[in-house]
């Protein structure tokens, strides 16, 4: 029996095995299993419900409301001639006489074109941009020099008699607003001073810097009376709450910290940003704290809970400035892509202010509705807050002996009256601007070319 088995070579056996395998799997080679339509439909439904469940219900409700409105709307006449004549809207437009109709056509100029039974056909007005308010142009009034480094921050005291500036020479200088003369120099920081704020409730000046220090100066003795320790890196900006004794600081450690002014306690650490927090604003209404960061987001914070209420992600580049309008319950944020205006408290987008094509380091707004933005290249754009109309562009002149590349505006603020604008610059000077008294609406007309509809670019 054993002699009958034909002994093949290993080579032949391997090839036969390969052939058998090939024949077995040849039919299905490279083919995917057939698509199960039912399973695909179930998968899509689950995905849609998971991702858009809340929105889908809102859309369905909106569609139901719309359908209800269409059903409840009274019938409108389908006479094309009548529609055309109504669209003309002129006094001489003729209305066709329909002998079958019992109602007489209404006189031109009256509200209803037909009897009381049918709805009036009113021509729709195209939406138009509101006309901007006229603002006087601003001009350079005074240049103050005295710092030995880039001047990084400025704050005006509530009494409007003096203002303070902080610079890369580590000195805080206090200047008389009326004369521009130096009153006092405060030394104590060991690195660039980046933020200043004067308390409206106490004789205190708060400062922060790249040395991670936050200091409280008593202006009666010109001495530091408190330090606020906690930041892990440079502190770039600070703000005082207008109604409660709370100080907010923010910086390169991507956090904003809320301090009790008197006890120096770190009440909250506001975390959520993923990069340097470069801008900060406080107000007594909600949201009480607004921060802008190099991660290109703006966050609105609930001060009581110490949590983020809302994150605005519309900007494409880092946000370096946030400013709150003194009366209108709106705020603006600046980024190299554009300046955006927002509505409080929910952060609803209002409009873009496009055209300042530079790194916008700072902004200021006064109660007259003049918004000023200052760029890293020394350009200043002045805008009408309500309409977003750019009514003036300035290039800050550099101090004699400085290079043109030192034309950079780091911070700016209006004085308490809103009639003087103070800017601090890279040529180590402080510049004060005021309105041109000789200008009028005739000499400097509003060069206003409204678009039919301003495109809302998010």
Per-residue pLDDT of 27-60, as tens digits, reads 665 667 778 889 989 988 888 888 887 777 888 8
Q: What angle do CA 130, 135, 136 make, to 5 degrees?
A: 160
Specify the residue for token string 């801008």.
279
Domain membership of residue 63 (yes or no) is: no
More confident residue, 131 or 208: 208
Residue 165 has pLDDT above 90, yes or no: yes
Helices and strands counted in the chain (H then E): 3, 28
Domain membership of residue 114 (yes or no) is: no
Q: What is the pLDDT of residues 357-374, one digit of tens each?
A: 999 999 999 999 999 999
**N-terminal to C-terminal alpha carbon distance within the chain:** 88
Q: Please give the backbone phi and psi of residue 276, each rounded to the nearest 5 degrees, phi first.
A: -45, 130
Is the CB of residue 156 less than 8 Å from the CB of residue 199? no
**Residue 20: helix, strand or coil by DSSP?**
helix
- pTM across the whole model: 0.72
Which CATH number covers residue 370?
A: 2.130.10.10
Domain membership of residue 394 (yes or no) is: yes
Domain membership of residue 67 (yes or no) is: no
pLDDT of residue 257: 97
Which structural domain, as residue segments, surrounds residue 392?
138-435
Domain membership of residue 29 (yes or no) is: no
Q: How is residue 68 written in tokens?
A: 């209800």
Residue 128 has pLDDT above 70, yes or no: no
Domain membership of residue 266 (yes or no) is: yes
Q: Are strands 214-218 and 298-302 parallel, antiparallel or unpaired?
A: unpaired
Give CB contacts under 8 A, 24+ apart, made by 433-437: 433/138, 433/139, 433/140, 433/141, 433/394, 434/138, 434/139, 434/141, 435/136, 435/137, 435/138, 435/139, 436/136, 436/137, 436/138, 436/139, 437/136
Residue 419 has pLDDT above 50, yes or no: yes
Of 180, 147, 146, give the one whose Cα is nearest residue 433: 180
Name which of 49-63, 175-189, 203-217, 365-379 the model is least confident about: 49-63
Q: What is the pLDDT of residues 317-340, one digit of tens each?
A: 999 999 999 999 999 999 999 999
The total of structural domains in the chain comes to: 1
- If you average pLDDT over residues 16-27, what whole number do you get? 80
How far is Cα 92 from Cα 95, in angstroms, rounded to an integer? 9
Domain membership of residue 457 (yes or no) is: no
Bridge partners (DSSP) of residue 424 are 411, 430
Domain membership of residue 384 (yes or no) is: yes
């Amino acid at each position: 029996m054993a002699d009958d088995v034909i002994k093949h070579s290993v080579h032949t056996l391997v090839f036969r095995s390969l052939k058998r395998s090939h024949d077995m799997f040849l039919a299905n080679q490279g083919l995917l299993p057939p698509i199960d339509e039912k399973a695909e439909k179930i998968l899509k439904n689950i995905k849609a419900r998971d991702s858009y469940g809340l929105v889908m219900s809102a859309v369905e409700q909106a569609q139901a409301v719309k359908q209800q409105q269409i059903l409840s709307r009274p019938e409108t006449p389908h006479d094309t001639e009548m529609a055309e004549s109504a669209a003309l809207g002129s006094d001489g437009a003729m209305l066709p006489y329909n002998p079958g109709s019992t109602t007489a056509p209404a006189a031109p100029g009256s509200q209803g074109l037909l009897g009381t039974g049918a709805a009036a056909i009113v021509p729709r007005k195209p939406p138009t941009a509101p006309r901007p308010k006229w603002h006087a142009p601003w001009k350079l009034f005074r240049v103050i020099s005295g710092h030995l480094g880039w001047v990084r921050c400025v704050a005006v005291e509530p009494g409007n008699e003096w203002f303070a500036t902080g610079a890369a020479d580590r000195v805080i200088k206090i200047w008389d607003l009326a004369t521009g003369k130096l009153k006092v120099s405060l030394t104590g920081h060991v690195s660039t001073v980046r933020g200043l704020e004067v308390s409206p409730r106490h004789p205190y000046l708060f400062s922060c810097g790249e040395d991670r220090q936050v200091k409280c100066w008593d202006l009666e003795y010109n001495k530091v009376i408190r330090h606020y320790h906690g930041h892990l890196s440079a502190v770039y900006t600070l703000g005082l709450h207008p109604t409660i004794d709370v100080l907010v600081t923010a910086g390169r450690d991507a956090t904003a910290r809320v301090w009790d002014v008197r006890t120096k306690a770190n009440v909250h650490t506001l975390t959520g940003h993923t990069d340097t927090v470069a801008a900060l604003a406080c107000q007594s209404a909600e949201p009480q704290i607004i921060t802008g960061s190099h991660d290109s987001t703006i966050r609105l914070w609930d001060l009581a809970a110490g949590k983020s209420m809302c994150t605005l992600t519309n900007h494409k580049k880092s946000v370096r400035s946030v400013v709150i309008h003194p009366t209108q319950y709106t705020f603006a944020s600046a980024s190299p892509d554009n300046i955006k205006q927002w509505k409080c408290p929910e952060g609803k987008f209002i409009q873009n202010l496009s055209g300042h094509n530079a790194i916008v380091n700072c902004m200021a707004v006064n109660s007259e509705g003049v918004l000023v933005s200052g760029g890293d290249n020394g350009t200043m754009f002045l805008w009408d807050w309500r309409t977003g109309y750019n009514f003036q562009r300035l290039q800050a002149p550099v101090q004699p002996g400085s290079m043109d590349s030192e034309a950079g505006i780091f911070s700016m603020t209006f004085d308490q009256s809103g009639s003087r604008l103070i800017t601090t610059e890279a040529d180590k000077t402080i510049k004060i601007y005021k309105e041109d008294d000789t200008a009028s609406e005739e000499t400097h007309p509003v060069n206003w070319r409204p678009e039919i509809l301003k495109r809302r670019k998010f």
